[in-house]
Amino acid sequence: MKSWNARSGQASPGTPGSEAGSRQDRPAARPSRRSWRLGLRVAGAGLLAATGAIHLDLYLTGYRSIPTIGWLFLLQVITAFGLAAGVLATGSRLIAAAGAGFALATLGGYLLSVWVGLFGFTEIRTTAGIAAGVMEVAAFAALAMVAAAPAAATQPARQAPSGSRLLASLQAGLPGAGGAVAGLSLAALMVLGISVAQAAGPAPATVSGGRAVLKTATLGGVPVLTDAKGFTLYWFAPDTPTRSACYGTCAGYWPPLTGTPSAGPGVTGKLGTIKRSDGTTQVTYNRHPLYTYAGDTAPGQAFGNNLNLNGGLWHEMTVSS
């Protein structure tokens, strides 16, 4: 319907200037909302890919040798990169929600391995683990906002068929999503902080009265050396008879056996000691420095045998080695 413009003497469509002004004002808010959402997409996808890269590095440098944990790491890497690419390429709320859930699930797996162990493997506090955990929380926050933040209002909603109302409501977003996502992210960071604070690298194998009693046990038909508590002892291929090559994070996963050695029944090899860089005395057997493994959670286990981890191969110390 047209209206008469008295000043120009011409007919003009629709409602006078107020409608045109509202049309000019309305799009101004949309680019800001779109830019904000795009920034969250890029940040969330980038953080998810970064966690995948950390797990890929860990996988290639030794975790692939750990039973069950190895292929779980590989699955995490593939899924992280796939979801990151999907979020960037499509901007789909459903893919973003899947990415957020995956980031939180990966964090949960890490925390579980720190608390009680996962498939026989107990994680310790490492820089890579902390960095990946923080990135997973940040990736969750960004992708959850992409998935749940209400969409910008554009035009009155049309009546949707009953079968697609649920999908339409998901696509429209959830009011108050920002507060919920912030609360969950803060809670996840707190749990992560408490967990890594309590998960300090295991101390060197404790000894009674400064003595390290070596015993024997039979695992898989092979007589192996154990500490006084029955935990399997290992030797590290890069070591020399006078020097340990395992420090820092490595010593967290592989606590050195320290103290004055004492042979128990069946221990027939030559006992000795070396001085570590921190001044402690590490026990050697047949000129091999000895270690326990953080992944062994009970006597009679040898999850560390033949692992390629922390820079070299690890082997259980047999009585005849």
DSSP 253-313: HSPBBBSEEEE-TT--S-EEEEE-TTSPEEEEETTEE-B--TT--STT--TTTT-EETTEE
Q: What are the tens digits of pLDDT across the range 106-149?
A: 999 999 888 887 887 778 778 888 999 999 999 999 999 999 87
Using left for φ > 0, alpha for ψ between -120 and 50, and beta otherwise, residue 286 falls in left
Least confident segment among 6-20, 120-134, 143-157, 262-276: 6-20
Residue of 44 and 321 predicted with greater confidence = 44
Tell me whether strands 211-219 and 260-263 are parallel, antiparallel or unpaired: parallel
Q: How far apart are CA 132 and CA 107, in angstroms?
A: 8
Residue 152 pLDDT level (bands cut at 50, 70, 90): low
Average pLDDT over residues 250-258: 90
Does this model's pTM top 0.85? My answer is no
Q: How far apart are CA 3 and CA 143, in angstroms?
A: 49
Q: What are the tens digits of pLDDT across the range 56-91?
A: 988 887 677 677 888 899 999 999 999 999 999 998
Range among 88-92, 100-104, 308-312 rated most confident: 100-104
Q: How far apart are CA 13 and CA 50, in angstroms?
A: 54
The reported pLDDT for the residue numbered 203 is: 47
Could you tell me if 38 and 31 are in contact, meaning their C-beta atoms sit under 8 angstroms apart?
no
- Stretch (H or E) spanning 10: strand 10-13
Residue 213 pLDDT level (bands cut at 50, 70, 90): very high
Q: Which residues contact 48 (CB under 8 A, 6 or more apart)?
A: 80, 83, 84, 87, 99, 102, 103, 139, 143
Q: Which residues contact 6 (CB under 8 A, 6 or more apart)?
A: none
Q: How far apart are CA 225 and CA 263, in angstroms?
A: 10
Residue 18 predicted with pLDDT over 60: no
Residue 248 pLDDT level (bands cut at 50, 70, 90): confident
